[in-house]
Amino acid sequence: MTSSSQPQSQASSKSNTGNGHFQSHYIPNTPDEQNKVLSALGLSSIDELFLDIPDSFRNPSLNLPGPLSELEIQQELGALASRNRPLAAGPSFLGAGSYHHFIPAIVKALVTRGEFLTAYTPYQAEASQGTLQVIFEFQTLVCNLFGMEVANAGMYDNATALAEGALMACRVTKRSKVALSSSLSPTFQQVIRTYCQAQAIETTTVPTENPGIDGDTACLIVQYPNYFGYIEDLAKQSDAAHVEGALIVVSTDTTALGMFNPPGELGADIVTAEGQPLGIPASFGGPYVGLFATKEEYIRQMPSRLSGRTVDTHGKTGYVLTLQTREQHIRRERATSNICTNEALYALAATVYLAAMGKQGMRQVAELCYHKAHYAAAAIAALPGFDLPIDGPFFQEFVVKCPESPTEINRRLLERNILGGLDVTKTIPDGMLLCVTEMNSRQDIDALVSALAEVA
């Protein structure tokens, strides 16, 4: 809808009429309509609406270019997109939370079907049986993967799911102190602190080996494998938390669980993960889907919602939203979370991926990642100037200490069409976090090793 007093071809998308009124091709109101609104408010110009906001905090005037034709905008967007480096352009060894895994063709074939692609939140059970069944199967597979008793319908991503786990632990234990393992992702720590500060929940960082939590701590939050890809003694960490009456909240790697014991078998009370490795392509920050599971005794304090299976009056199987403990559905003061999505489409992608891969497929992928990563680590550690600063078992990620700045080494690797690892110098001097998945061939790894020998 366009302004009735301005021709469609006018270059400016926003112009000042001289009296503080704005005309726009994208705002469906005319100057006469704006005058009526201002008159009702007792104002003479739109500028008066913003008088309470200091000038220094207002957005500057936007000097936007003129409109483009459909052909021109496609060409411009294509030029911008061509500046990105697709993963297929050359080997990538970057992980740290977003991973390049193989995605079976069946995943995209199913998630792009119209009945799934255009479906929205399943409020009306009688019209949403397919979506509700997908969510139910998703929850079941998450429980199987984590070794837990109950899972919700999905969260935004792993970081916010982990933060919700911290808040849930405080509700369960009625304590207001959260301990963060030092080997937890720095990004996750930031998100958790952001969530906790508004609720006057104290957060503290504790050593990995000896967390030393006290009786005021609601939970100990750890990562398995940890941020650097290494496997810690989760059972020992769980015992340390439970001795003090605290819960253990675990952020895990879904692919690693194809070969390592699930957190539920090692004493975890709440488990979260990022669902991106499960059939979701790496992209610029998402959208992804957070996985969340817990013990059945804590189900009433779990955020988001659950899909349940039941039977109707004729004995036929049916699916419903069983628990909805968010403020949109119940009294705000009794709500556990304001999470208002279940990321249903990507939950479907994860469900299809897990069902297609099965136990053996998941184990095969995990073993490929594990052995390829160890092959790469051993070869790099043999190079002059490189070594592995962290001892212990790791999965698909590991830290390499470089002879010079990892940022500079990565720049030289990119010149050879190799995407290197993450610079973790802030934590480990001259440290680079490398990731090797099933997508990296032996030739890719050998090329990385040879390139490192040249550029260092």
User: What is the average pLDDT value for the chain, to the nearest integer?
Assistant: 89
Place of tokens 């494998």: 225
Does one domain contain both 363 and 349? no
Does one domain contain both 125 and 60? no
Give the pLDDT score at 131: 87
The parent domain of residue 378 ranges over 87-101+358-455
Give the pLDDT score at 298: 96
Does one domain contain both 286 and 187? yes
**372/440 Cα distance (integer angstroms):** 8
Q: 382-396: string of b/e by CB count within 10 Å (b at 16+)?
A: ebeebeeebeeebbb
**432/420 Cα distance (integer angstroms):** 8
- CATH number of residue 381's parent domain: 3.90.1150.10
**169/180 Cα distance (integer angstroms):** 13
User: Does the bond joining 429 to the residue before it have cis omega, within 30 degrees of 0?
Assistant: no
Contact 182/212 with Cβ under 8 angstroms? no
Tokens of 52: 């309470």
Give the pLDDT score at 21: 46
For the CA atoms of 354, 359, 362, 366, the dihedral, rounded to the nearest 10 degrees, stands at: 150
Q: Strand order in 150-151's β-sheet?
A: 150-151, 290-294, 270-274, 247-252, 219-224, 177-181, 202-206
Helices 129-146 and 344-381, packing angle to 10 deg: 30
Give the pLDDT score at 204: 96
Q: Considering only CA atoms, which of 137, 157, 164, 205 is closest in space to residue 294?
A: 164
**20/306 Cα distance (integer angstroms):** 50
Q: Considering only CA atoms, which of 334, 307, 323 is closest in space to residue 129?
A: 307
Q: Is 24 helix (H, G, I), strand (E, B) or coil?
A: strand
Total domains present in the chain: 3
Does one domain contain both 165 and 287? yes
**434/53 Cα distance (integer angstroms):** 47
- CATH number of residue 280's parent domain: 3.40.640.10
Strand partners, 319: 309
Does one domain contain both 157 and 276? yes
Q: Is 252 helix (H, G, I), strand (E, B) or coil?
A: strand
CB count in 10 Å sphere of residue 150: 19
Does one domain contain both 397 and 254? no
Q: Considering only CA atoms, which of 190, 218, 187, 191 is closest in space to residue 202?
A: 218
Provide CB contacts within 8 A for 92, sequence distance 6+: 100, 418, 419, 439, 440
**244/161 Cα distance (integer angstroms):** 24
Does one domain contain both 91 and 52? no
Does one domain contain both 154 and 275? yes
Domain limit, last residue, from 52, 84, 116: 84
Element (H, E) at 115: helix 114-117
Does one domain contain both 347 and 377? no
Provide CB contacts within 8 A for 197, sequence distance 6+: 203
Give the pLDDT score at 6: 36
Q: 128-138: string of b/e by CB count within 10 Å (b at 16+)?
A: beebbbbbbbb
Tokens of 436: 């090797």
pLDDT in tens, the chain (456 residues): 333 333 333 333 344 444 444 444 556 788 889 899 999 999 999 889 888 888 888 877 788 888 899 999 999 999 998 888 887 788 999 999 999 999 999 999 999 998 888 777 777 777 788 888 999 999 999 999 999 999 998 899 999 999 999 999 999 999 999 999 999 999 999 999 999 998 999 999 999 988 889 999 999 999 999 999 999 999 999 999 999 999 999 999 999 999 999 999 999 999 999 999 999 998 877 789 999 999 999 999 998 888 899 998 999 999 988 877 555 566 666 777 777 666 889 999 999 999 999 999 999 999 999 999 999 999 999 999 999 999 999 999 999 999 999 999 999 999 999 999 999 999 999 999 999 999 999 999 999 999 999 988
Give the pLDDT score at 283: 83
Let me know how long the chain is: 456
Does one domain contain both 269 and 363? no
Does one domain contain both 335 and 398? no
Does one domain contain both 80 and 92? no
Domain limit, last residue, from 327, 353, 379: 353
